[in-house]
Amino acid sequence: MATITTRSGKGSPLTNNEVDSNFTNLNTDKVEKSGDSITGNLSFADNAKAVFGAGSDLQIYHSGTHSYLTDVGTGNLYLRGTNLILSSAAGESYADFTNNGAARLYYDGSVKLATTSSGIEVTGIGVFATPSGGDSQINIETSTNVGRSLVYFKDPDGIGGSVYYSHGGNFMAFETNGTNEKMRITSNGRR
C-alpha cells in the first residue's frame, strides 16, 4: 500500500503539488470498480468465493479440501474454446474435445471411446447393460488373441449366446452357452 509522505518539521504544510502527488500514489495500488488491469496474483482464502452475476450465479472457490466451479443460476454453463482438454495436474487426459473433430474419453490415459465422422469408435470391450434388474446385456469386443470379433449376449445368470466372425477361418458362427456352436456360415453357405 502507498504511504502518504509528510514534511518533517513543524509548521511546514504540504504544498498543493505535493498533496496531489501523494493522493495519486495512494490510488496506484487500488483496483478501479469501473475496470482495471491486475499484474499480480489475486489470492482468496478457503471458502472465499469469486462471485459473478447479479444473483451470485457463478462461483469459483476452494473449500480447503476440494475446488469448485459452480453455476447456481438459471441457464447453461458454457465452457468455450477451440479445443477443450480435461486432464490431471500430471497431464494425464480424462477427456478432450476438438473443434470440428473428435470427442474422446480416456481410461488411465488411454482413449476408450471416441466420436468419428461416421459414428463412434470403442477401444476394448463395449458393454451395454440394462440397469436395475434388467434382462440382459450385450458385450461387443474384438479379441485378437483368439482371432475373432464377438457380439455376446448374456442374461443376469451369466447364461447367453454369441455371434462371432472368425478372422482366420473366414466364417461367422452362432453359439449358445458361450461354447456350443449351433450354426456356421462360410463363404460356401451354411454348415
Answer whether residue 46 shows pLDDT above 70. yes
Question: Based on the domain organization, do 172 and 141 belong to the same domain?
Answer: yes
CA distance linking residue 105 with residue 115, whole number of Å: 9
Q: Average pLDDT of 47-53?
A: 94
CA distance linking residue 105 with residue 107, whole number of Å: 7
What cell numbers appear for 178 in the block? Answer: 458361450
Question: Based on the domain organization, do 60 and 83 belong to the same domain?
Answer: no
Domain that holds residue 16: 1-32
Question: Based on the domain organization, do 91 and 147 belong to the same domain?
Answer: no
| Residue 97 binned pLDDT confidence (cut-offs 50, 70, 90) | very high
More confident residue, 52 or 191: 52
Go through 71-90 and write b for each residue having 16 or more CB atoms within 10 A of its CB, e for each that does not. Answer: eeeeeeeeeeeeeeeeeeee
| Residue 2 binned pLDDT confidence (cut-offs 50, 70, 90) | low
Q: Is residue 89 part of a domain?
A: yes
Answer whether residue 149 shows pLDDT above 80. no
How many separate domains does the chain show?
Answer: 4
Q: Could you tell me the pTM of the whole model?
A: 0.60
